[in-house]
Amino acid sequence: MNDSSSSAAVSTTGRDAFLSLLASEGVDVMFGNPGTTELAIMEALSRQSHIEYVLGLQESVVVAMADGYARASGRLAACNVHVAPGLGNAMGSLYNARFYGSPVLLTAGQQEQGHGLMEPLLYDPLVPIAQPMVKWATEVTRVQDLPRIVRRAAKLALTPPTGPVFISLPGDILDAQAPLDLGAPTRVDVDTRPADVVLEKLARALLSAANPAIVAGHELATRHALHEAAALAEILGAPVWQQTVPYAAQFLSEHPNFMGQLTRNQRQVRECLARYDMLVFLGSDELRMSVYSEIDAMPPGVRLIQIGERGWELAKNYPAEIAVQANVKETARALTSALQKMMSPEQRRHAHQRIADLSGSNWSAKRDRAQQDAEKLHDARPMDPSVLMKRLTDVLPRDAVVMEEALVSGFSLLNFLPLRDPQGFYGLASGGIGFAMGGAIGISMALRDRPVVAIVGDGSAMYSIQALWTAAHMKLPITYVIPNNRGYRILKERLKSMRGTEKFIGMDIREPDLDFVALAQSMGVPARRIVDPAEVGPALRQAIASGTPALLEVSVADGFGQ
């Protein structure tokens, strides 16, 4: 395909070929922040109509936008940043994209080859910077290689386990003219299910367990397998727990088998899981934790089955009796029909009984109790965050997409918010804050007809507050809700519980207080401040009805009475 004698070769420039290649890979939007080394691309963009350019005002926002777009669309998300400093700014967001497995194609302009050798301003080799955070990083050194490199990068990003890739584009490559055959995209089909003999082995193992439980992971959301997972849980009569980190909508909350979320507290998780004799990790991470504990989260003696497309995750932390690398949707479907054929009437009765036994302790039962508990705190000022989360979810339209990066203020959200479809919820996956403000833009652009509600803590919002300008510029239907507790409450709580002190250094954002209403308004986003819980519902309804960006700053408790 890079052979200049090929019959399909047409004389073109590197910059035009680059955009044509992206368009042919299905790219219709490029998130970016330009500099001089990207001017060739900017010039080429002005002469085509396939790709819309979305400007982000800092590279971490640019990559977060692309990450959000990739998460919500499952499509290749293109983004472009400016040489070494721009790529450096993007690294935290690239970490988040890699963590989630987002198919992001990140490119950066690079100084012309040879000119770079002279170490001009802004120069540094880019591949070693990006390499640790991507599936593949390379620099184009001959324009003839550009088609093969872009095609390979797109294919790699989109082939499970999906993830970001990086291409460095030197100026001389973008400006070179050559006969190029652009080739065609390839999509690798990995939607495989296990062989019949493995399915039978899996089914037999599952039926030999007295009390199995499922841990639902985010592959169920990315592969749109919520109903298949539910059917498997039903036939087994197995309770379903959401994996420790809620990256996405990983199960149907209102399903009678759904028990809620596993925490990231090793002792709690161990106690919770100790009642089962078998755990089935379905497209899930293996009990990913946050802070260190001497206690291991996995109860001893429990049998493990793991099914997922990410080979690295399989038996990563604990040995599995059966580990299968396969598509979760296809496998859940095939396993359910294998079980249907194998189960005796007695086994079916047991499964039904186990489901009936869950009715007092499942997610729905817990939600009813959590709602009553939250309403008891109605009069507290500043508002208790659980009251805010309840009031928000009370009025959310069914089609709303919710993002959560609110740390302590958001802890109760999933007690109230029912997850009903695979694109209805996106959480803070990696722990790296700063994703949600920009991520909401990408998610909104991917799901154009759904309102987006991004609930972002005051501390987290400030990592990428410039995203508000892009949201305003693009007139996107995003409502940012900022629970403002005037600081880093989670760090204060941890300082107290882990270090035994309440002397908070570097954890308050006060003197001066941040004014999110003024910040939003300065970037063209209408905003208001809310103190009274009674105002939450009407304000959210009004913001969503506007069909344009809005920000609601809500005063919430900081947990330390200040």
Ligand X SMILES: Cc1ncc(C[n+]2csc(CCOP(=O)(O)OP(=O)(O)O)c2C)c(N)n1
Give the interface with ligand X as residue ranges (CB under 6 A): 92, 407-409, 431-434, 457-460, 485, 487-491
| Residues that contact Mg ion, how many (by CB under 5 A) | 4
Q: What is the DSSP code (8-state) at residue 124?
A: -
479-488: b (≥16 Cβ within 10 Å) or e = bbbbbbbbbb
Indicate which of Mg ion, ligand X, none lies near residue 84 (CB less than 5 to 8 Å, by partner kind).
none
Closest CA to 15 of 141, 207, 143, 195: 143
Q: In the bound complex, which residue of the shown chain has the CB atom lying closest to ligand X?
A: 457
Order of strands across the sheet that contains 29-32: 52-55, 29-32, 77-82, 104-110, 165-170, 137-139
Q: Which stretch binds Mg ion (CB under 5 A): 51-59, 178-186, 395-403, 459-467?
A: 459-467
The binding track of 403-442 with respect to Mg ion, each residue x by CB under 5 A or -, is ----------------------------------------
Residue 92 interacting entry, from ligand X, Mg ion, none, C-beta within 5 to 8 Å by type: ligand X
Q: Say whether residue 459 binds Mg ion (CB under 5 A).
A: yes
For residue 380, give the 3-state DSSP assignment.
coil
Choice between 136 and 480, CB closer to ligand X: 480
CB closer to ligand X out of 363 and 425: 425
Q: Which is nearer to Mg ion, 432 or 457 (CB)?
A: 457
* Structure-token match 């499964």, residue found: 351
- Residue 549 neighbours by CB distance under 10 Å: 30
- The interface with Mg ion within residues 107-136 (CB under 5 A) comprises none
Q: How far is the CB of 496 from ligand X (least distance, A)?
A: 13
- Does residue 14 interact with Mg ion by CB under 5 A? no
Q: Report helix, strand or coil for 212.
A: strand
State whether residue 483 is helix, strand or coil: strand
**Of 324 and 406, CB closest to ligand X:** 406
Judged by CB under 5 A, does residue 458 bind Mg ion? yes
Determine if 382 is a binding residue for Mg ion (CB under 5 A): no
Select 108 or 408, whichever has its Cβ closest to ligand X.
408
Q: Hey, which residues does 275 pair with through a beta bridge?
A: none
Residue that has been written with the tokens 């841990």 in this structure: 215
> Rounded to the nearest whole angstrom, what is the least distance from the CB of residue 154 to ligand X in the complex?
28
Q: Identify whether the C-beta of residue 385 lies closer than 8 Å to the C-beta of residue 408.
A: yes
Smaller CB separation from ligand X, 424 or 434 = 434
CA-atom Rg of the chain in angstroms:
25
Q: What's the rounded Cα separation, in Å, for the pair 214 and 234?
A: 11
Is residue 485 part of the contact set for Mg ion (CB under 5 A)? yes
509 beta partners: none
- Which CB atom, from 52 or from 513, has the smaller least distance to ligand X? 513
Binding site for Mg ion (CB under 5 A): 457-459, 485
